[in-house]
Amino acid sequence: MLKSTLSALLLGLALSVRAIPPAPPKNPFFAASILPYQLPPFDKIKDADFKPAFEDGMARQRKEADAIAHDPAPATFENTIVALERSGRLLTRVSKVFFNLNASNTDDEMQKIEAEMSPKLAAHQDAINLDSALFARIETLYKQRDNLGLDAESAQLLDRYYKQFVRAGARLSETDKTELKKIDEELSTFQTKFEQNLLKNVKSNAVVVDSVAELDGLSAEEIGAAAEAAKAGGKPGKWLISLQNTTIQPALTHMKNRALRERIYRASISRGIDGEADNTMVASTIVALRARQAALLGYPNYAAYALEDEGAKTPEAVNKMLSGLGKAALSKAKVEAKEIQQLIDSQAKSARAKSFKLQPWDWAFYAEQVRKDRFAFDDAQVKPYFELDHVLKDGVFYAAHELYGLTFKERKDLPLYRPDARLFEVFDADGSALGLLIRDDYKRDNKNGGAWMDSFVDQTGLFETKPVVINNLNISKPPAGQPVLLTFDEVSTMFHEFGHALHGLFSHVKYPLLCGTSVPPDFVEYPSQFNEMWARDASVLAHFAKDYRTGAAMPKELLDKVLAAQTYGEGYATDEYLEAAMVDQSWHQLPPGKPVPAAKDVAAFDAKILKKAGMAFAPVPPRYHTPYFAHAFSGGYPAGYYAYIWSEVLARDTGYWFKTHGGISRANGDYFRAKILSRGRTLEPGDLFEQFYGQAPNIEPLLEYRGLAMPKKQ
């Protein structure tokens, strides 16, 4: 996942025209960092620095924008568009650090700052986007665009500015602008509240276990991590099962105690319902506000507004894709459920016990047994071959070297915000410095759930800056001295997030608005999902899948089984994802003026839309229910959760292209880098893809990759 909070807040505006008196130098944000690559001086940054930097940064940028808007000289590309790109450097610096740290290493003070600053930042953004004089200059240039003699990237920049201002409401009446400003401020407040409630619920809904016997089935490392989590939470002598931000929790895969499995499941799905951190009312309010916003801007619903600027373009296109995939996924999930039920019945009969009907908290546990029986291995056999450092250096970094010629050097001489975060300097094939990669791999209570990439510094030719990017995971940290052993899903996630990192590191763009991962969600997930394929590539797997104790390679027989097993369970995995995507779309396709379901009806709404779509299948709940659906309500993907599967169509087509062109090689990697990874949004995503692939996307490679393709008729 890519975090886009900063992009949403600033809309890519970055201004600096008139000299502003410098603020006191004691605040580390008031001048660019002097560290290599302008790495933030984490050792000097304090919570007290953020608010003054935000306030001064907004004031400076507003003065800069005013100077541009009221420049007596006629509008030119340089004095208007490039000037906008040069503005807001201080605000960009503090925003990037604050929102990154607030996601990965927050505290009470930062959450207070977020609650206070979010509506102010929304108002600041509106003050610029809704400035009539500023928009008039942009519109004048846009109407003259064919006669300005602009190069392709500059022409794209002008086009993006014009569309962003229009989509932000620049053409509205003053009365409607006032209403839109109010909506935007309220949205920022409620989205922040949703995110903060979610973090509170992760803590409050964690499951405390009194006896280690109840944890039968978990590995020694997992039990140790649970003990450490309980100790850190003030409950020494107990075990704490922390919740990740999905419906089904990882511990359910191996936990033998069915009652505890159900307890964990119910703790998971009850998050955000009732209590101090109730998100049902918050979600309902957000949907109503977004519907009003869309109506003001002239759209039939919020999804139509959001998707217009995406690759998908329309809700109808998304609905068609989700529905078409849903039939194949549900059909496969029902086959998998039947196999699991047969196993449950068989085990009950052998034990002379009463059988039971498959429930959501049973699926992962018994699916793992089916997989183990079918492919003769389980995670416990595989995990010793997936030690984190080996996977990173001999897998993720190795594939990047083979494809792009990259090398990596760990730096321990530069400050980071946590002692267990890591920093790598990245070098290009010719030995030149490319940028920095920060890794923050471990789960903790003050960190958002899931996995994501973001940046502290973006690559731009305009400012001659090189990228500083970060990958965040949520791996359970074992006790000191114990190895960090991964499941294959966690291995795939490492490759996925590194695909985002490459998209940021390889950016070769002049303007900030167009650089790196500044592309629509249904394209930004494309490079990351493509990069996942190298976790399954036999040559890459053989290079990193080695026993951490002996260095022995994973036996070929086991390696073959791991690869063959990857399509098992894809019915379930695709089904739970599509259900969540349909929930997201249904909320955001509600028309303005129609009553939004009240807080008490939120859960029923989720169930109703899945039933209407023909996707209601009790053993497979949606990956996210509304009260903890961060992507849709606070994570920057409203009406955009479909983007993962849309992007994966492009990713699997790209995998097919690599396969037909000889697989992993420098020639293929360099071509993909030149056509996709380095281009940012210097061209519209659909055009970039067709220039690379030579034709429109095809869904068949995705169905084959996920094992959902129907058998071909003879």
Q: What is the CATH number of the domain that holds 424?
A: 1.10.1370.40
Is residue 444 in a domain?
yes
Query: Which sequence positions are flagged as catalytic?
Result: 497
CB 176 within 8 A of CB 114: no
pLDDT at 168: 95
Instruction: Please tell me whether residue 442 adopts helix, strand or coil conformation.
Output: strand
* Claim to verify: residue 157 and residue 228 sit in the same structural domain: no
Low-confidence ranges of the chain (pLDDT < 70): 2-25, 710-714
Token readout for 665 is: 């090689």
* Claim to verify: residue 396 and residue 531 sit in the same structural domain: yes
For residue 472, the 8-state DSSP code is E
* Claim to verify: residue 418 and residue 537 sit in the same structural domain: yes
Q: At what angle do helices 47-69 and 89-104 cross, to 10 degrees?
A: 140
- Residue at which a domain ends, from 155, 171, 187: 171
Sequence-distant (6+) residues with CB within 8 A of 407 are 401, 426, 427
* Claim to verify: residue 420 and residue 562 sit in the same structural domain: yes
Instruction: Please tell me whether residue 553 adopts helix, strand or coil conformation.
Output: strand
pLDDT at 3: 62
First vs last Cα of the chain: how many Å apart?
A: 40
CA dihedral 278, 606, 103, 526 (to 10 degrees): -170
Q: Which of 513, 518, 230, 255 is nearest to 364 (CA)?
A: 255
- Residue at which a domain ends, from 512, 547, 567: 567
* Claim to verify: residue 163 and residue 212 sit in the same structural domain: no
pLDDT at 162: 98
Instruction: Show the domain range for 231.
Output: 205-269
Is residue 554 in a domain?
yes
Is residue 329 in a domain?
no
pLDDT at 378: 81
pLDDT at 712: 55
pTM here? 0.86
Cα distances (angstroms) measured from residue 296 to each of 167, 332, 591, 632, 637: 11, 43, 12, 21, 21
Is residue 608 in a domain?
no
Calpha distance 262→448 (Å, rounded): 24
Calpha distance 440→106 (Å, rounded): 13
- What's the structural domain count of the chain? 3
Is residue 550 in a domain?
yes
pLDDT at 449: 84
* Claim to verify: residue 438 and residue 513 sit in the same structural domain: yes
- Residue at which a domain ends, from 126, 146, 171: 171
* Claim to verify: residue 515 and residue 428 sit in the same structural domain: yes
Calpha distance 117→310 (Å, rounded): 28
pLDDT at 25: 58
pLDDT at 8: 44
